[in-house]
């Protein structure tokens, strides 16, 4: 897992994009994109949003309703 951003560094990135409580973090390997984090966030209005981030750069790839 060399070069992968730690979960602590992901928190501010996720919060900037989807404010709320992080309820789940997964590290997955995708054949197309390589390693990525899938972070589930419970927003203030009760929605669960999923933020997908590049695990090496921390860049947000996708935000969607879960």
Nearest to 5 by CA among 20, 27, 23: 27
Which pLDDT belongs to residue 1? 60
Per-residue pLDDT tens digits for 25-44: 999 998 888 999 999 999 99
Please check the confidence at residue 24 and state whether its pLDDT lies above 90: yes
Rounded to two decimals, what is the model's pTM?
0.90
Nearest to 38 by CA among 57, 20, 17, 55: 55
Strand partners, 22: 41
């Amino acid at each position: 897992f060399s070069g992968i951003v730690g979960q602590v560094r992901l928190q501010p990135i996720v919060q900037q994009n989807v404010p709320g409580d992080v309820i789940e973090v997964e590290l997955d390997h995708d054949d197309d994109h390589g390693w990525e984090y899938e972070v589930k966030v419970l927003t203030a209005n009760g929605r669960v949003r999923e933020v997908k981030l590049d695990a090496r750069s921390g860049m947000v790839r996708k935000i969607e309703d879960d």
